[in-house]
Amino acid sequence: MNHLITLDDLHDFDQLLKAMQTIQKNPLAHEQLGRHKTLGILFFNPSLRTRISTQKAAQNLGMQCMVMNFNNEGWGLEFEDDVIMNGTTSEHIKEAAGVLSQYFDVLAVRAFASLSDKAKDQAETVLRGFARHSTIPIINLESATAHPLQALADGLTITEFKKTARPKVVLSWAPHPKALPQAVANSFVRLMQRMDTDFVIAQPEGYELDSQLTKNMKVVYSQQEAFDGADFIYTKNWSSFSHYGQVLRTDDAWKITSEKMKMTNNAYFMHCLPVRRNVVVDQAVLESPQSLVLNQARNRIYTAQAVLKSILDEA
Amino acid sequence: MNHLITLDDLHDFDQLLKAMQTIQKNPLAHEQLGRHKTLGILFFNPSLRTRISTQKAAQNLGMQCMVMNFNNEGWGLEFEDDVIMNGTTSEHIKEAAGVLSQYFDVLAVRAFASLSDKAKDQAETVLRGFARHSTIPIINLESATAHPLQALADGLTITEFKKTARPKVVLSWAPHPKALPQAVANSFVRLMQRMDTDFVIAQPEGYELDSQLTKNMKVVYSQQEAFDGADFIYTKNWSSFSHYGQVLRTDDAWKITSEKMKMTNNAYFMHCLPVRRNVVVDQAVLESPQSLVLNQARNRIYTAQAVLKSILDEA
Amino acid sequence: MNHLITLDDLHDFDQLLKAMQTIQKNPLAHEQLGRHKTLGILFFNPSLRTRISTQKAAQNLGMQCMVMNFNNEGWGLEFEDDVIMNGTTSEHIKEAAGVLSQYFDVLAVRAFASLSDKAKDQAETVLRGFARHSTIPIINLESATAHPLQALADGLTITEFKKTARPKVVLSWAPHPKALPQAVANSFVRLMQRMDTDFVIAQPEGYELDSQLTKNMKVVYSQQEAFDGADFIYTKNWSSFSHYGQVLRTDDAWKITSEKMKMTNNAYFMHCLPVRRNVVVDQAVLESPQSLVLNQARNRIYTAQAVLKSILDEA
């Protein structure tokens, strides 16, 4: 693996899935592997699970970690080529990435979608900028359009809990008062393209994901249709892709409820967290025995660790 | 020990005091004890001594540490049950505490009093929320009503410097331009309930501490009366408890001066820091040989270390 | 070495330069030296290279590191003596430095120039305050008037790349839209006073550096004159010293271009970074094979490491 920006960068998904399962059973089996290696973690946005689980993964491998919150502790970075930098940015990504490549062995970066500039978000300006100008592997900790480590943890969780070889998995949109990125949903779709499942996406009109990504995927406009016989309900809000970054509705018709879960094949409930209780999903669902949200969060450690181990093994 | 929210959570104060004394003499005696264990430290408020001494304590025990400043690096947490989360909070304490319990072995949290909502402060919403929903031990790094690690360091310092079996100890209010919490004073009162001293609280009218806490304690309204024959003067400002969170006076009649210290039995001066020079106390007192403020700060390491060691020993 | 505030604090520059060269070749040769030692790093201003390279240096020596961003994570510090602290500062440097001296073995501090109060900046209030009241060595990570670790890295880089025993080195002012401190330029001047070079400072009228510092140094008002036959062009913007902190001009007459570089003896280009592309220097120069900016940044690790090693060796 060179960089991990989206799941498309993974050469062998099945091998990585096996590695995650092995690590999950014995997380400290390779605690000397990362000796003398340093992981840099740059946040351009807030983080809880990703912040801690990524550090934990590095620590389990014996790597050193340095965390930097770029907005508070650094300055504006310039990502455009050939620009006269007399505005608000103080350093070009070419220098920043070049310098950090000398200090770190691996660099993990979080930079959310703006949700205002679709072209810039789609171009993955920040993550692609780091990838292009770094001489070390870049790991995506959620970018404008993708959150591959979350998807990998979700894949590990589904593998862990599935009761049939080919479970029915639903990705269901749910309401939220604020405009959220499509990154988690996008990466979950990419995950499903790698796993053998009966997969269906359910969302209201206007909330269709990028059609380039979902072509050949089953898409429905009814939770009732999607939930029927489902083994896993993966829920997430995202803002509109066609009306880019807009919140088109905030009513609770698409909220996940216990009643809706009864339409499924006693499905497991999944969400990447953070989740707004009783807005996205009723707390009864979240606290039910079928809820896997804590398992997903725990698996974030092993997923990040498998990716880091794969990088260290190749180095 | 399960959680340490207030000193009331300590089963055996005398044993912990002995452990602190042992650690003080040889802080690196157990540097392998915390191997493969991780301490999470969450700050909802600024910190200097607590921030560094707690990390140092963990380090002395060979624990890994991860520090997160929640307000800057995270998002709003919801502590109310059964709420529809369509406002400013993005994650419920149930999920946050559940997730962090999987990443850390021990979790230390600082969350100051609001000083505006007495009921919420008295309920210790944040610390009790973490304690209730975590499956790992929670350590209070100063909450709305208590600062137990400070009190333990103060107890160690008094034990170290006392010249008689039962010293006279004064907790004296002093002026301050800003409204400060009662947490440090409360925990010092609880400490005195555990130690054999001649203890007296001195404060002006309107600044009485929670009467539930101070019942059966000696309270006077005159520094002159309190300081007479005192061996330790512990000074701290706090805002009014009855007129909750209000600053009732800012004159310097209750400031600690060299003249007032002369009324004592050559008493030691104590303050938890940070302290405003020449407002709370004259700098001559602070810089006198009788000042123990640096000793108190140093003992913060050994106190935190004794608490962590006690948790690791039980695990 | 006691404190390192400016290069004047170095007793034996040549010995330190040799130590830097040795470390550069084998950075992990002394990875047990810092065992049980802790470096505190306090930032009062943003930082990228200094933040990471200093941590990396400590890590290479086996030291523990604790980083604190004082403005976000702490409170206002008071540096004036004998003041009644009833304003915006919450803790006096005497207490803060005294406490931190008990937690750390070495303390590194960044505190930029205000550029508004010349007397205060010249007095190095923050760094001198820490040095005066600490009982442990203080390392300057860029103060109001000096950036010694940068200068040392520059000295190592020039030593590494020079082709003649006594190269011609130019310090050239360049334009910038914002008012920047003189710290980097000052320390480069001090470096040149320690190294055997043909050194010339070039700047426009009004941008003369502190004449106390530059007395006996060659100063010209023409890049053309300075660049002729030069082996190293060290570029940096700084605001006016005489019209303290002011930006007197923003035109691009003094910008470094490929054409100007052609006037030199195929000189290397140097800049401490961050640099504004096409404002301070044309990107063609920055990306040319003669650009040493990444080398300078990498050498920040070895420089900080040599300084820390020297402190640990003496301890």
Residues of A in contact with B96 (CB under 8 A): 48, 274
- Three-state DSSP class for residue B109: strand
Share of chain C above pLDDT 70, in %: 100
Has residue C302 got a pLDDT over 80? yes
- Secondary structure E strands in chain B: 38-43, 64-69, 77-78, 91-92, 106-110, 138-140, 168-173, 198-202, 218-220, 232-236, 268-270
Which residue of B273, B277, B291 is the best one to mutate when testing the C interface, meaning the one whose CB has the most C CBs within 10 A? B277
Of B28, B55, B273, the CB nearest to C99: B273
What phi and psi, each to the nearest 5 degrees, are found at residue B255? -60, 145
The 3-class secondary structure across C263-282, one letter per residue, is: CCCCCEEECCCCCCECCCEC
Tell me if B219 sits within 8 A of B208, measured CB to CB.
Answer: yes
Contact at CB, C102 and B294, closer than 8 angstroms: yes
- The partner residues of C25 in beta bridges, in order of sequence, read none
Tell me what the pLDDT averaged over chain B comes to.
97
From A16, A6, A21, select the one nearest A160 (Cα to Cα).
A21
The residues, any chain, with a CB within 8 Å of residue A242's CB and separated by 6 or more, are: A206, A208
d(CA A315, CA A37): 11
Question: Hey, CA dihedral for C5, C9, C14, C19, is it positive or negative?
Answer: negative
What is the number of helices (H) and of strands (E) in chain B?
A: 13, 11
Q: How far apart are CA B300 and CA B305, in angstroms?
A: 8
Q: What is the pLDDT of residue A72?
A: 86
Rounded to a whole number of angstroms, the distance from the CA of B56 to the nearest CA of chain C is: 7
Residues C305 and C289 sit within 8 Å (Cβ to Cβ): no
Element (H, E) at B178: none
Domains A7-146+300-314 and A150-296 share a fold: yes
Report d(CA B23, CA B20) in Å as an integer: 5
The CA distance from C102 to B293, in Å, is: 12
Question: How many angstroms separate the CA atoms of A22 and C289, rounded?
Answer: 46
d(CA A38, CA A40): 6
Task: Band the pLDDT of C1: cuts 50, 70, 90.
Answer: low
CATH code of domain C149-296: 3.40.50.1370
- How many C-beta neighbours within 10 Å does residue A249 have? 13
Local structure of residue C77 (DSSP, 8 states): E
Q: Which CATH number does A7-146+300-314 carry?
A: 3.40.50.1370
- Measure in Å the smallest separation between the Cα of A46 and chain C Cα atoms: 15
Q: Which of C79, C62, C82 is nearest to C70 (CA)?
A: C79
Please give the residue of chain B at the shortest CA–CA distance from C74: B46
The CATH-assigned architecture of domain B150-296 is: 3-Layer(aba) Sandwich (3.40)
Give the domain ranges of chain C: 7-146+300-314, 149-296
β-pair partners for C139: C4, C108
Model confidence over C260-275: pLDDT tens digits? 999 999 999 999 999 9
ipTM associated with this complex: 0.97
Instruction: List the single residue in A64, A72, A95 with the smallest CB-CB distance to C273.
Output: A95
Residues of chain A found within 8 Å of residue B106, distances taken between Cβ atoms: none
- Distance from the C218 Cα atom to the nearest Cα atom in chain A, whole angstroms: 31
> CA C309, CA C301: separation in Å to the nearest integer?
12
CB neighbours of residue B255 within 10 Å: 18
* Cα–Cα distance, C292 to C270 (Å, whole number): 5
- The angle at the Cα of C201, spanning A93 to C164, to the nearest 5 degrees, equals 85
CB contact under 8 A, C91 and B273: yes
CB contact under 8 A, C69 and A72: yes
Q: Please report where in the chains the tokens 């997730």 appear, as a residue.
A: B99
The residue type found at C28 is L
pLDDT, position A1 = 59
In 3D space, the residue among C306, C234, C229 whose CA is nearest the CA of residue C268 turns out to be: C234
The string of pLDDT tens digits covering residues C228-284 is 999 999 999 999 999 999 999 999 999 999 999 999 999 999 999 999 999 999 999
Name the residue type at position C13: F
First to last CA, chain A: 10
Are A52 and B103 a contacting pair at CB < 8 A? Answer: yes
The DSSP letter of residue C141 is S
Tally C-beta pairs within 8 A across A and C: 79
| pLDDT above 70 for C153 | yes
Contact at CB, C46 and A98, closer than 8 angstroms: no
pLDDT per position in chain A (315 positions), as tens?
Answer: 589 999 999 989 999 999 999 999 999 999 999 999 999 999 999 999 999 999 999 999 999 999 999 988 999 999 999 999 999 999 999 999 999 999 999 999 999 999 999 999 999 999 999 999 999 999 999 999 999 999 999 999 999 999 999 999 999 999 999 999 999 999 999 999 999 999 999 999 999 999 999 999 999 999 999 999 999 999 999 999 999 999 999 999 999 999 999 999 999 999 999 999 999 999 999 999 999 999 999 999 999 999 999 999 998
Contacts of B49 in chain C (CB under 8 A): 99
Show residues of chain B in contact with C106, CB under 8 Å: none
